[in-house]
Structure 1
Amino acid sequence: MTIELTRRTLLRLAGTASLALAAAAAARAEGTPTAGAGTIAATAPGFAGSTPIRCGAIGLRVRDLDRMSRYYQSVLGLAVISASADGVTLGAGGVPLVSMEARPQAEFEPRNAAGLFHTAFLMPSRRDLARWLVHVARNQTPLTGFADHSVSEAVYLDDPEGNGIEVYADRDPRLWRWEGERVVMGTHRLDVDGILGLTDTSRNDYASAPTGLRIGHMHLRVGDIQQSESFYRDAIGLDSTSRRDTASFLSSGRYHHHVALNTWNSAGAGSRDLAKTGLDWFSLEVADPALLTAQRERMARAGFAPTTVEHGFESTDPWGTRLRLVGV
């Protein structure tokens, strides 16, 4: 399989005819303006997980546990950490990342409800992203778009029950451009050839996820941006890194974003129906015990009533999505 054949395969899997149209699809996925191709060079991994607060794991309510588990294993290369008749936990390098709870009678959560927009899985390196791209191309995995976001290079797809997924690699944070407290992010055509040039496209050597694969950020559908910021920024203590009328991006330690919030399809959404499928909970990890204690006090003062869970506490956002802050 040549590089050119792989690029055509990826475009076909994304249901588009050109890199520009694939970037436009990714722009719809991230709500960022499109522009020409970027020229910034490769990544230095690890920044997303080195900040005072970082993404941990997610919990999903699923109708078809076996099918969903097989998808995350075969497409992302996650390994089974624990399993029962009612649920499974998958991860990479022995670290739990995705827990699924079987809800076989549940209705699917509509895409105009508050909830999960996508879970973004961060590859340790650009070469790992290249190896994964060959993997999905050779396995004919449907994609929904791919793009260069200036700070990162990203590919989008949906799992069998409609939960959005992003797989991406960060660029070296020293190459990110900041304008004051705002990081410059855009949506450009992805340099597929440049990425694939880092690996052997004639074979699939992505047998399992790299041990350093982690969730880099969470992107949520919400009903109101200002109300969502009152929880994720003011109560949780994340910093704003970019904001528009219909989207907000927040992070810890000047990462480009650990949490994104949008109202593109969900403006005015009410409380989620927790009997339906979709995101049940997600966690943010806090390395400093003193910070974790301070965060609990901060949430209590903001009126969000944290309750104790293993290694930390949890509260619910204004639409019923559970957020856990846990020590590591």
Structure 2
Amino acid sequence: MTASSDPSPTLPDGTRLGRAALVVADRTATVDFYRDTVGLRVVERADRTTTLGTEGTALLVVGEDSTVASRDERAAGLYHTAFRVPSRAALAAALERLRDGWTLEGASDHGISEALYCTDPAGNGVEIYRDRPRAAWPRADDGTIRADGAPLDLDALAAAGDAGPAPAGPQLVPDGTTIGHVHLEVSSLEAARSFYADRLGFDVTMTGVPGALFFAAGDYHHHVGTNTWNRRSEPAGGRGLAWFELLVPGEGALEAVRERLLEADVSITDRGDGFEVVDPDGAAVRLRPGTDSSH
């Protein structure tokens, strides 16, 4: 099936996030945090960037540029990057690392997931979470996914770690860890819906959270979150999120997205085997081919 014969306005089910990239003033402190506290491996070092991830999978690119200004307090941009670990034991190990060497700022039981929250040395929000089985996800009467906001029982989570070490050891997240979603601060939910749903082809999910919209492919709870909670009014800019990737599987699917974007007069920049677009608030989204994967 070619892109021109694919009538689907949505992203294929296996679409998922690839890497995210940050621009910071002090790469050393930021890399140390993502290695020692989040638990990522350093997989590549270059002159101005360090890439971290799991064994064989790059997840985060940290670029250093002291000439880039700090993000303005009015500017849209990153709310948090969310690292999804594949087990409760791995989340318990992350809790231990946070308690030992960092500051845990929040912990929530969303029903769909259990999540820990903190901020990196450059001021970027970070979530570390694990999904509950899909069959256990709470849903509204119309079948849509519903997220709860209960406090997370940290004692029970810590006990899950006491049952045995995380698969990759106490200082590393296990293989199978991914960037599960990216959450953005935007100036307009309507503009975000137009871009991420109508143009890129995500489904809109979890619409019941005031001041927020969530987008996903393949009946996941969300790959991209957006909110207007802090009333951002200026385009994204300065330090913080540089870009994030969408990996689009399926023959012709990536070209179908490109054609849909071009028909909507969205500017496209070619990048190797994929391309980049910019959302209404200036966040760069890179799309390239990916293999089908569970979310």
- Give the TM bin, normalised by the shorter chain: 0.7 to 0.9
**Which residue of 1 is the match for residue 255 of structure 2?**
293
Q: How many residues align?
A: 275
Per-residue CA deviation, residues 202-253 of structure 1 (Å, 9 max, x unaligned), is 9994121211110001100000000111111111100011225521011101
Shift of 1:68: 1.0
Cα distance change of structure 1 residues 170 and 203 upon mapping to structure 2, 3 Å threshold: closer
User: Equivalents in 2 of 1:213, 1:112: separation in Å?
Assistant: 32
- Of residues 182, 200, 221 in structure 2, which corresponds to 1:256? 221
Per-residue CA deviation, residues 158-187 of structure 1 (Å, 9 max, x unaligned), is 000110000001000011122225211111
**Which residue of 2 is the match for residue 144 of structure 1?**
105
- Of residues 201, 206, 215 in structure 2, which corresponds to 1:237? 201
Per-residue CA deviation, residues 97-129 of structure 1 (Å, 9 max, x unaligned), is 111221113222134311000000001111111
Unaligned stretches of 5+ residues in structure 2: 1-11, 291-295
The answer as to whether partners of 1:181 and 1:241 remain within 8 angstroms in 2 is no
User: Equivalents in 2 of 1:156, 1:281: separation in Å?
Assistant: 21
User: Equivalents in 1 of 2:75, 2:60: separation in Å?
Assistant: 21
Q: More deviation in 50-59 or 146-155? A: 50-59
- Of residues 245, 257, 269 in structure 2, which corresponds to 1:283? 245
SS for the counterpart of 2:160 is: coil
Per-residue CA deviation, residues 115-153 of structure 1 (Å, 9 max, x unaligned), is 0000000011111111221222233x1111001001000
User: Equivalents in 2 of 1:164, 1:55: separation in Å?
Assistant: 17
- Of residues 213, 224, 229 in structure 1, which corresponds to 2:188? 224
Structure 1 position 188 matched with structure 2 position 150: yes
- The letter of the residue matching 1:248 is L
**Which residue of 2 is the match for residue 78 of structure 1?**
40
User: Equivalents in 2 of 1:202, 1:211: separation in Å?
Assistant: 17
**Which residue of 2 is the match for residue 42 of structure 1?**
none
User: Equivalents in 1 of 2:156, 2:105: separation in Å?
Assistant: 20
**Which residue of 2 is the match for residue 154 of structure 1?**
115
Q: Tell which has more relative contact order, 1 or 2 (C-alpha 8 A, sep 6+).
A: 2
Per-residue CA deviation, residues 188-208 of structure 1 (Å, 9 max, x unaligned), is 021222222222289994121
Matches within 5 A, 1:159-174: 159-174=120-135
- The letter of the residue matching 2:175 is T
User: Equivalents in 1 of 2:257, 2:114: separation in Å?
Assistant: 32
The answer as to whether partners of 1:88 and 1:100 remain within 8 angstroms in 2 is yes
User: Equivalents in 2 of 1:70, 1:62: separation in Å?
Assistant: 13
**Which residue of 2 is the match for residue 215 of structure 1?**
179
Cα distance change of structure 1 residues 96 and 111 upon mapping to structure 2, 3 Å threshold: farther
**Which residue of 2 is the match for residue 32 of structure 1?**
none
Structure 1 position 89 matched with structure 2 position 51: yes
**Which residue of 2 is the match for residue 310 of structure 1?**
272
The answer as to whether partners of 1:113 and 1:266 remain within 8 angstroms in 2 is no
User: Equivalents in 2 of 1:150, 1:224: separation in Å?
Assistant: 27
Matches within 5 A, 1:53-132: 53-132=15-94
SS for the counterpart of 1:97 is: strand
User: Equivalents in 2 of 1:308, 1:192: separation in Å?
Assistant: 45
- Residue identity over aligned pairs, in percent, reads 36
**Which residue of 2 is the match for residue 52 of structure 1?**
14
Q: Which runs of 4+ in 1 moved over 4 A?
A: 201-205
User: Equivalents in 1 of 2:47, 2:163: separation in Å?
Assistant: 38
- The letter of the residue matching 1:227 is A
Cα distance change of structure 1 residues 53 and 203 upon mapping to structure 2, 3 Å threshold: closer
The answer as to whether partners of 2:36 and 2:97 remain within 8 angstroms in 1 is no
Cα distance change of structure 1 residues 115 and 242 upon mapping to structure 2, 3 Å threshold: same
- The letter of the residue matching 1:257 is H
User: Equivalents in 2 of 1:322, 1:289: separation in Å?
Assistant: 24
Unaligned stretches of 5+ residues in structure 1: 1-49
Structure 1 position 319 matched with structure 2 position 276: no
Per-residue CA deviation, residues 246-301 of structure 1 (Å, 9 max, x unaligned), is 2101110111111100011134x12223xx20101001111213211111111111
